[in-house]
Chain A
């Protein structure tokens, strides 16, 4: 038995051009295109022939980037938006937690709003009277229920909205990212309630960006991309595939950004004047007379592919193409890694590691291999330099290069130290990623 059935559901949104935004009734009348201007001139396909069957009693997660069609899907299922084509069937009473407290009137009391909101969500007056105390208790608003809603804090507002919606007691519950706003005490309470729903074999459709919660509570997950279901299946697998895709996208973004960063100058002759001009006021800077020049910098994985997004446990290879105008005997190569707060996470150079320079001439390659990156998630900036042992800079690149560390790991700090946990048999943990079937 399916609780929700979608059969090749397509939803096309009408997008009106900028011209239309400034369209006025007068001008439409004057131009005589009153009816034409009511027609859209661009169409956006938010859902593209989506077929989906959600079994009764299942907790079904939907993940995906912003704009991938998740919310449209929810709106279609809830009936707020109509499919442009395709068939939709929902078996059982449905309640949508799409926006909590939508339709609260600020001037009237919480009590009156509970009734009106409850009726809007499909409860009868009698049902609300019966559940009223429970709704108020769950929302923890006993003292404030008779105050006008405009005096509520946003948390109180949300709690009341959630409490009403959850008490509608539907067969099918749609949840759209609403838990994101709750405070630390209320969210677990909400999750408890959702768990309770699962135990009573109700169907839940859960849209969220919180992948941990999705993996924890869902039986199946669909990943939406560009209005289509990209992948559907067991939560852990789908979430991993989605994350993989996110990393690829981050990589592309980085590639794009890198192209915009002033690349090290390619011309080999050092610029005239005593000190080359600082490139701009940004913290990315380059200085030095370039007797030895860093011409190109490449970041690679341990396996040698060029990359800008790394996993903390991955290795990284920094490759510098260098060139010396004249043969020199005094030089030091150095690297520095800074996080986005400007904290130096690691720095070293050939001099600190007691490498005695002998000679450099012509073009060459300097490679620094980091076996295990060991940084926590975030954006990092690289300082690369070649200078004399007394500090006189040949070519100093400050923060010109950046990379991203991205993973599902959630540890904190500056670096990720190698570690492992062990426990004696008295202390037991559930293995992560396992479904808690309630």
Chain B
């Protein structure tokens, strides 16, 4: 624990480097593209459009939460997909980040934990590019924002800690087990559908099946998503108890993830 805190302090010294690596990441990602950073916004928008057409217009939402309106459903989707894309793309990139930057680990004195942090944070910045657009949509389609929207940073913090712990764990293990990348892809698909993103947690079919509901409740991402829905879509107070619990779980995951990372650290220069 003391080591963890010392190492984190050490990271503070590297903040300029972290900053620069993040901006490098952002610059490099869309260099050569016509739309540039607008892709950060188009990607979730396209995904949302597909889901809106399929689930909103073809299958029609019966959930009372959407008042039978495909537009409300689209907003609901947008509230969930944006943070989910942040989570899933940073997880997938974390799996690769140590290998891609193997040169740095092998040749330069460099605290490797910077890499998952850079991955997560640069994806966070993409996420935050999407936020104003989400807010605009909410406004245009008649969902009035309440003061509860100000609680958004709390939810983001919980997700950040959770994702970082997950990122440490995944990135360190992938160095030794390369197929985690592939497992992760499948896991994330499964995870996506066991998180209330394309449906609401309180929709009638879920309430009728306690087993399904139990699975959803046990999934930490459920409560994080509910946080986004609560403060943006429903405009109501957060479920502090469940979100608080998830925060504790996130801290635990962070601790475990970091411990594994730290334990395997010395093997990185040889294995990446």
Contacts and interface: CB of A to CB of B under 8 A. Distances in A.
Interface string A15-29: 000000001111010
A124 interface: yes
B17 interface: yes
Interface string B98-123: 00010110111110000000000000
A188 interface: no
Interface string A67-81: 000000001001111
Interface string B227-242: 0000000000000000
A102 B104 contact: yes
Interface stretch (A115-123, A219-227, A267-275, A363-371): A115-123
B79 to A, nearest CB: 33
Contact of A108 (B31, B177, B264): B31
Nearest to A106: B28
A23 B21 contact: no
Contacts of B108: 80, 96, 98, 102-103, 120-121
Interface in A228-284: none
Nearest to B17: A119
B267 A99 contact: no
Interface size range on A against B: 20 to 34
Contacts of B24: 105, 108, 112, 116
Contact of A103 (B28, B32, B103, B267): B103
A116 B177 contact: no
Interface size range on B against A: 20 to 34
A33 to B, nearest CB: 12
B60 interface: no
B176 A38 contact: yes
Given A102-B107, A121-B108, A107 B266 contact: no
B183 A107 contact: no
A37 B176 CA distance: 9
Given A80-B107, A119-B20, A120-B110, A103 B101 contact: yes
A338 to B, nearest CB: 44
A348 interface: no
B208 interface: no
A148 interface: yes
Nearest to A102: B107
Interface string A88-119: 00000000101100110101100010011001
Contacts of A329: none
Contact of B179 (A24, A79, A112): A24
Given A119-B20, A124-B16, A78 B109 contact: yes
A163 B86 CA distance: 38
A115 B23 CA distance: 12
Contacts of B179: 24-26
B173 interface: yes
B269 interface: yes
Contacts of A119: 16-17, 20
A152 to B, nearest CB: 15
B21 A116 contact: yes
Nearest to B265: A82
Given A13-B270, A105-B24, A28 B177 contact: yes
Interface string B135-175: 00000000000000000000000000000000000000100
A82 B176 CA distance: 19
Given A115-B20, A120-B17, A96 B264 contact: no
B262 to A, nearest CB: 12
Contacts of B11: none
Interface centre among A14, A23, A103, A108 (most CB of B within 10 A): A103
B32 to A, nearest CB: 8
Interface in A122-154: 124-125, 148
B188 interface: no
A81 B103 contact: no
A38 B177 CA distance: 9
Contacts of A98: 107-108
B62 interface: no
A181 to B, nearest CB: 15
A118 to B, nearest CB: 10
Given A79-B109, A81-B269, A107 B28 contact: yes
A28 B27 CA distance: 39
Nearest to B109: A79
A124 B173 CA distance: 33
A329 to B, nearest CB: 71
Interface string A310-342: 000000000000000000000000000000000
Contacts of B173: 25
A108 B27 CA distance: 7
B180 interface: yes
Nearest to A28: B177
Contacts of B177: 23-25, 28
B185 to A, nearest CB: 13
A116 B103 contact: no
Contacts of A23: 176-177
A78 B17 CA distance: 19
B95 to A, nearest CB: 11
B125 to A, nearest CB: 16
Nearest to A124: B16
Contacts of A78: 109
Interface centre among A38, A75, A99, A121 (most CB of B within 10 A): A38
Nearest to A119: B17
A29 to B, nearest CB: 9
B251 to A, nearest CB: 24
A92 to B, nearest CB: 15
A80 B106 contact: yes
A105 B118 CA distance: 14
Nearest to B114: A120
B10 to A, nearest CB: 13
Given A96-B109, A115-B20, 11 more contacts: A14-B270, A24-B177, A24-B178, A26-B183, A37-B176, A38-B176, A80-B109, A105-B24, A116-B17, A116-B20, A120-B108
16 contacts: A14-B267, A23-B176, A25-B179, A25-B183, A37-B176, A38-B264, A102-B106, A102-B107, A105-B24, A107-B32, A108-B28, A112-B27, A115-B20, A116-B17, A120-B108, A124-B16
4 closest Cβ pairs, A-B complex: A25-B177, A102-B107, A107-B28, A99-B107
